[in-house]
Structure 1
Amino acid sequence: MLLIDDPAIVAEVTAMSDRYEAALMANELDVLDALFRDAPETVRYGVGEVLYGFAEIAAFRKGRVGGSPQRRVLRRVVTTFGTDLATVNLEFLREGATRIGRQSQTWIRTDEGWKITCAHVSLMADMS
């Protein structure tokens, strides 16, 4: 039987999600790169970009002047499946914006620790 939401695993992934969020807001590219699985199968769909493979994701972040727009996390749901797979879904609001953003990530445990293997970021319709 698959164990869902083991508290210890949820705590591990929550800590990794916190680390990701802090690095994103500080534009710490080395940390962000370290949190993504370095593989051609890693995918990130952004608000305005479609990136296939770690190399494209790293190049996008390096080329983004000023880093990610600052944001505040409104809600986060961490769900774990067994001990090596998790999803993190959150809603956020960018500073000065009225559109709610959404981010979904799939995390897997690797020999190097927890890594993001799939990510998606989108914005909802304007709420004003």
Structure 2
Amino acid sequence: MEINNPETLAEVTACFEAYERALVTNDLPALNDFFWESGFVLRYGLGENLYGIDAIRSFRAERPSGDLDRSLTRQVVTTFGRDFATANAEYRRHKSGAEGRVSQTWARLPEGWRIVAAHVSAGVTQP
């Protein structure tokens, strides 16, 4: 299995960056499209465990959007073969200064690259 095939890595990195732009601008249709449209997709958040695309869409529609702008402080994308990847990042919100982490599992599906699992957590201050 090839790790970080340059073409595949570029594709997933572009998807991850597009997702990040949609997130900070609260582009709900785009955010929803990045996730696998399935009852099997999941997203664990700071205070929610979302199972299935309907739960993810409902969360997105109802969440506060006052502190979305953020900068990534570290980002790691790794591809495994041509159809599977992980994307992980640390971030800092511009308004509140809150730090966090995000992990995403991406799969190439017939409709294109989609997030099949995601996890967001609060950051930890390093000693």
Change (3 A) 1:125 1:95: same
Structure 1 runs (4+) greater than 4 angstroms displaced:
none
CA-CA distance at 1:64 after TM superposition: 1.3
The equivalences for 1:1-128 within 5 A come to: 2-66=1-65, 69-125=68-124
Question: SS at 2:50's partner residue?
Answer: strand
Q: Which moved more, 1:90-99 or 1:75-84?
A: 90-99
SS of alignment partner, residue 8 of structure 2: helix
Equivalent residues of 2:105, 2:118 under 8 A apart:
yes
State the identity as a percent: 45
Structure 1 unmatched ranges of 5 or more: none
Task: Confirm or deny: 8 A CA contact 1:100 1:123 kept in the other structure.
Answer: yes
Superposition RMSD on alpha carbons, in Å?
Answer: 1.5
Offset of residue 65 of structure 1: 3.3
Scaled by the length of structure 1, the TM-score of the pair is 0.92
**1:78 and 1:88 in contact (8 A); partners too:** yes
Shift of 1:67: 6.4
Q: Is the 8 A contact 2:25 2:68 kept in 1?
A: no
Give the direction of change, closer, same or farther, for the CA distance of 1:81–1:67 in structure 2 (3 Å limit). Answer: farther
How many residue pairs are counted as aligned between the two chains?
A: 126
